[in-house]
Amino acid sequence: MALAFSGAPAWAAFSADGPARVRAGAVQGNFLDLALAGTRLVAVGERGHVLLSDDAGKAWRQAKAVPTRTTLTCLHATDARTLWAAGHGGVILKSTDAGETWALLAGQADGADVLLSIRVDADGRGLAVGGFGFARATADGGASWKTLTLLEGEAGEKHFNRIFVSGAGTWLVAAEGGQVLRSADRGAVADMKWAAVATPYKGSLWCGLALPGGLLLAGGMRGNVVRSTDDGLTWTHQAVAGAGSFTGASLLADGRVALVGVDGTLVLGDARGENFRLRRLDDRATLTAVQPQAGGALVLATQAGLRSVPAPAN
């Protein structure tokens, strides 16, 4: 999850035109999302940096070719070889070789729009969303993109922060103002009808996750979590005492839930998305994404680089 709306944009001090540059120490940069493509870890962040790891996050290398130096805020793996990234300027990138090389499909580095989440399914249906209600959809695997208005009025002008899909196939978007956008339509994404579902929490929701058994979670500011047991129609609220704002979430192999966030926040919950316990990293780094690995390690994207930590025991 990119913190993209306060202060000057991170790319303002240099030109975002042209391909991303190979930089010594890139692994210590500002990274904003992680994805698992087969067994390969992929990370994206500032300056168009895309990093790859084939050993569960022990060593990282930069992608061979990325056609932009703008900030990439989000990432999605359709399968082991097909990945999507998006970010500032409304840019949308696609890789068909597990992240080694990327093609620019939409947007421009100096554009005003910011995309914060992207998802493209194997059937070619895809959606990218971001700041101030900006959204684009594809029906043909990214060959073309259509700019959309998901909701009319004020609700449609809020920041749309994270796309997630329930086990039943319902598309959801964690959004500003305690809202979760919801569409159960099964047709083309551009034709979906969306509803803004209010949750008991009124602050911004920055991440979302579908759990087994039809459960849904969304994480918000200052340790707030909302949970649904009915495919996103209604939500309940709980707050994790002492936790910072949640920016990312993932499901562990043992069924537990991991939530990460600002101020070194690492929170683990049970398989029902309840009973959360806070473990704070000693350096209080801002954590932006988490990916579990075999053997119990958690790979973390942070605003000060990529790292691995052991998953805390129950």
Instruction: Please give the domain boundaries of the chain with CATH numbers for all domains.
Output: 149-309 (2.130.10.10)
Residue 10 has pLDDT above 60, yes or no: no
Q: What is the identity of the amino acid at 261?
A: G
- CA 113 from centroid of its chain's CA atoms: 17
CB 69 within 8 A of CB 48: yes
The amino acid that residue 1 corresponds to is: M
For 25-48, the pLDDT digits (tens) are 899 999 999 999 999 999 999 999
Which of the residue ranges 4-13, 157-166, 217-226, 288-297 would you say has the lowest mean pLDDT?
A: 4-13
- In this prediction, residue 186 has a pLDDT band, given cuts at 50, 70 and 90, of confident
Please report, for residues 1, 143, 217, 293, 313, the alpha-carbon distance to residue 163 in angstroms, rounded to integers and kept in the order given. 11, 20, 12, 22, 29
Backbone phi, psi, residue 81, to 5°: -120, -20
Residue 109 confidence (pLDDT): 84
Compute the distance between CA of residue 243 and CA of residue 299 in angstroms, rounded to an integer.
Answer: 19
Q: Is the pLDDT of residue 159 over 70?
A: yes
- The mean of the pLDDT values for the chain is 92
The pLDDT score that the predictor gives to residue 302 is: 96
Mean pLDDT of 249-270: 95
Calpha distance 147→160 (Å, rounded): 14
Cα 129 to the center of its chain, rounded Å: 11
- Average pLDDT (201-221) is 96
Q: Which of 236, 303, 277 is nearest to 49 (CA)?
A: 303
Q: What is the biggest distance separating any 2 CA atoms in the chain, rounded to whole angstroms?
A: 48
* pLDDT tens readout for residues 81-108: 999 999 999 999 999 999 999 999 999 8
- Where residue 314 falls among pLDDT bands split at 50, 70, 90? low
Output 312 or 117, whichever has higher pLDDT: 117
What's the mean pLDDT in 127-138? 97
pLDDT at 7: 37
Whose CA is closest to 98, among 44, 20, 36, 29?
Answer: 36
Tell me what the mean pLDDT of segment 156-164 comes to: 96
Tell whether the model's pLDDT for residue 74 goes beyond 60: yes
Residue 4: which pLDDT band, with cuts at 50, 70 and 90? very low
Share of the chain above pLDDT 90, in %: 85
Q: Summarize the confidence of residues 189-214 as an average pLDDT.
A: 95
Per-residue pLDDT at 16 exceeds 60: no
pLDDT at res. 226: 98
**Predicted local confidence at residue 17, as pLDDT:** 72
Q: Is the pLDDT of residue 195 over 70?
A: yes
